[in-house]
Structure 1
Amino acid sequence: MADAEVLLEVDGGVAVVTLNAPDRRNALTPAMASELIDVFDQVDARPEVGALVVRAVGKSFCAGGDVATLTNAGKDPAAPDAYDGMGRIYDSFYRLGQVKVPTIAAVRGSAVGAGMNMLLAADLRIVANDARLLAGFLKRGLHPGGGHFVILSRLIGREAAAAMALFGEEINGTKAVELGLAWESVDDAAVEDRALELARRVAADPELARVAVGNFRREVVNGAVSWEVATQFERPAQMWSMRRSSQG
């Protein structure tokens, strides 16, 4: 439906998932996260799909977790509703990382916090030259969440991850390519076309694409701990920081 916050189109074996909450800069709420998870489940259930592109409507790819959601959760992060709601947000980008086909993030505008986690969850990133990529957690008074340290550092290494996640460095698309955070940086208007071009190539053989990407992830993802374990390490620290922020 046009008024849904997550849209799904399938064309020529490519699933296009669109974040469609531009008035909120596509910031994630538990409800929107649930829509994303449902859409990713739909993609997995369609064997004719061989690739997935995540894109966004508006000037931001994703501004992170919705401010109202974070503020409410900060009053008591361990309360069942708050805990479950934040869990849905974590699950949405983690679920993207488990989709059974190769995935591409087509990134225009800004990506902050959980929005960074969303693009990091994809197998490949095509970004706009003038994209604004920022971890942003500490700037909000929050500890990073969702396994951010692991999924960022496995792409760009320890030094660059420290610069972004701890010291708040913001980068553009050109710098993202230089660091290995993205495959290609192009003009804003060309981002989605380039992502779709790559997606159609691998989607030409959906069965092979699904087998290949499964082994690609098993073989190339490494680190001191798994992403799943890192998520559990970070969650209590983020809950603490949310409560502290709300009481300040």
Structure 2
Amino acid sequence: MKSRFESKEYEFLEIESRETEDGTILSIFLNNPSSRNSMTWKMGEEFADLIHSIRKQKKLPRVVIVSGRNDVFCAGGDLNLLRSFSEKSFSQNRRDMRKFYGFFLSVRKLPVPVIAAVNGHAIGAGLSLTFGCDLRIYASEGKYSFNFVRLGIHPGMGSSFLAPELLGKSLGGRLLITGETFDGNKAKDWGLALDSVAKHSVYERAMELAISLSKASPLALQELKTNLYSWKQLDSALKKEAESQARNFISDDFKETIQSIIEKRDPKFKGK
């Protein structure tokens, strides 16, 4: 019999529940096999709907795990979605980007611990989602990058706030400015990841951590999560990101990004 969390069917998400002696551990898997779990508008709506339904439950899960199917965590924004932004106006993009960020970063509003079981590559907005979780287990061989500037757009999905928040302005800013790629071992060295293990062991390690966390007082953890984060500060950053990305999406540089992806070559930006 499906649990109350698994009763609703989603197109781009899979949900699994594990009952322990201390309560439920809920796992959410991104599942977009045609494009390496890239983020679509529909996936975002489903993700926000699920988070909202979890928050409404009288009996909350003790821990939530966010992971990916298809041997990858998330390849970032879906190409068709990105192309659609290049065809909209500045005001439409500003509104839509702010809403899109909110779909996935709603995970930060869950009153229970959230573990990112990053079982493979996580790029751009996909990596930002892992930063929005409370704890992270990364695949040692996974590749991780904030590649926004290499696509001709300002960093989004809260990354301009989350990266400096977790790593400090120097290192966080470096990753955003350079778009450099790092692996799970480096993430652990930086203190970003609680652990770095082989990709086939990531979910198992995250479940082990979840079981341990489920033994803590849920009331204490809920209070702690409320006090740890300032949604007001993140929201302010999201507004600035949405405005900056909205300008970038209507630029010639971003049109060049889309064309270069289609033609499988490096973009040649001209700054206009």
Question: Could you state the TM-score of these two structures normalised by the residue count of structure 1?
Answer: 0.90
**Contact 1:108–1:131 at 8 Å: present in 2 too?**
yes
Structure with the bigger RCO (C-alpha within 8 Å, sep 6+) is 1
Per-residue deviation at 1:162? Answer: 2.0
Match of 2:250 in 1: 243
SS of the residue corresponding to residue 61 of structure 1 reads coil
Query: Which one of the candidate residues 135, 147, 160 is aligned to 1:149?
Result: 160
Matches of 1:242 and 1:153, distance apart in 2: 24
Match of 1:175 in 2: 186
Q: How many residues align?
A: 243
In the TM superposition, 1:155-170 aligns within 5 A as 155-170=166-181
Q: Deviations over 1:110-169 (max 9, x none)?
A: 111110111011000011111111000001111111221111111111121122100121
SS of the residue corresponding to residue 60 of structure 1 reads coil
Task: Report the CA distance shift for 1:84/1:31 in structure 2 as closer, same or farther (over 3 A).
Answer: farther
Matches of 1:105 and 1:247, distance apart in 2: 33
Aligned-residue RMSD, C-alpha = 2.2
**Contact 2:90–2:247 at 8 Å: present in 1 too?**
no
Task: Report the CA distance shift for 1:74/1:212 in structure 2 as closer, same or farther (over 3 A).
Answer: farther
Per-residue deviation at 1:87? Answer: 3.6
Query: Which one of the candidate residues 63, 85, 106 is aligned to 1:73?
Result: 85
Match of 1:137 in 2: 148
Query: Which one of the candidate residues 200, 209, 220 is aligned to 1:212?
Result: 220
**Contact 1:30–1:86 at 8 Å: present in 2 too?**
no
Query: Which one of the candidate residues 40, 52, 57 is aligned to 2:51?
Result: 40
Matches of 2:214 and 2:229, distance apart in 1: 22
Matches of 2:238 and 2:96, distance apart in 1: 15
Matches of 1:99 and 1:247, distance apart in 2: 37
SS of the residue corresponding to residue 73 of structure 2 reads strand
Per-residue deviation at 1:177? Answer: 0.8
Letter in structure 2 aligned against 1:9? E
Matches of 1:219 and 1:203, distance apart in 2: 19
Per-residue deviation at 1:48? Answer: 4.3
SS of the residue corresponding to residue 14 of structure 2 reads strand
- What stretches of structure 2 of length at least 5 have no aligned partner? 1-7, 257-272
Matches of 2:142 and 2:89, distance apart in 1: 32
**Contact 1:154–1:222 at 8 Å: present in 2 too?**
no
Matches of 1:126 and 1:77, distance apart in 2: 39
Match of 2:236 in 1: 229
**Contact 2:129–2:157 at 8 Å: present in 1 too?**
no
Match of 2:212 in 1: 201
Q: Deviations over 1:168-224 (max 9, x none)?
A: 21110000011121110011111001101111222246xx32x3334333444479x
- Once structures 1 and 2 are overlaid, which stretch shifts more, 64-73 or 40-49? 40-49
Per-residue deviation at 1:83? Answer: 5.2
Match of 2:67 in 1: 55
Give 1 or 2 for the bigger CA radius of gyration.
2
Per-residue deviation at 1:22? Answer: 2.2
Query: Which one of the candidate residues 85, 103, 124 is aligned to 1:92?
Result: 103
Letter in structure 2 aligned against 1:153? P
